[in-house]
Amino acid sequence: MIAAYGPYSASATGGNGWSRDFLAGVLTIPATPFYTNIGRSKGRNLEYASTILFCIATVLVGAVYVIFWKGPVLRKRSPFAQQLDAERKGAPERDGHKERLTGSHKRPVSGLGSRRNSYYTSQNAASRNASRNASRNVSRNPSRNVSRANSLSGDSSSAEVPARTA
């Protein structure tokens, strides 16, 4: 859905999530009467109600495949799809690659979103974390902890610790 709607994907996924949650909340109201009343005379409430839901689900799954199969024809008839396609074809290039709207699924070899750049970023982050942890271990020496404890407890009898010079 995100690839299909491009810049409008946030609205599309938000609407999809809202409608799914709304229907789930509303359809809990008729669920109990549905399962208690259908098939009551033969004592097969669970079987009949579940079979009806299975048939509805099968039709809806079939609709997804029909839409996928007829997708190109539907997109040619849709003005909104034509507008998105025109925006994709006119998308600017950045670092030798089309913007995300082009629908290309290959990642760039180099540049801001590349795997190589991601690898180097993670390596730099690992070295930064290592140096940060090393500096934290230095500041955890026992004499500093004692002076910190004295300053926190309000004990003024301890000797002043000279300031660090870098």
Predicted confidence at residue 86, as pLDDT, reads: 83
Asked whether residue 56 is domain-assigned, the answer is yes
Predicted confidence at residue 90, as pLDDT, reads: 77
For residue 9, the enclosing domain spans 2-89
pLDDT in tens, 7-54: 888 998 999 999 999 999 999 999 999 999 998 888 888 999 999 999
Q: State in Å, rounded, how far the first CA of the chain is from the last one.
A: 55
Asked whether residue 154 is domain-assigned, the answer is no
Asked whether residue 32 is domain-assigned, the answer is yes
Predicted confidence at residue 80, as pLDDT, reads: 84
Predicted confidence at residue 141, as pLDDT, reads: 56
Q: Is beta strand 93-94 parallel, antiparallel or unpaired with respect to 97-98?
A: antiparallel
Asked whether residue 49 is domain-assigned, the answer is yes
Asked whether residue 166 is domain-assigned, the answer is no
Asked whether residue 110 is domain-assigned, the answer is no
Predicted confidence at residue 26, as pLDDT, reads: 94
| Tokens 């396609």 sit on residue | 85
Instruction: Please give the Cα distance from 10 to 2 (Å, whole number).
Output: 8
- Residue spans of the chain under pLDDT 50: 101-110
In the chain, how many domains are there? 1
Q: What are phi and psi of 93, to 5 degrees?
A: -95, 145
Instruction: Please give the Cα distance from 46 to 58 (Å, whole number).
Output: 18
Asked whether residue 34 is domain-assigned, the answer is yes
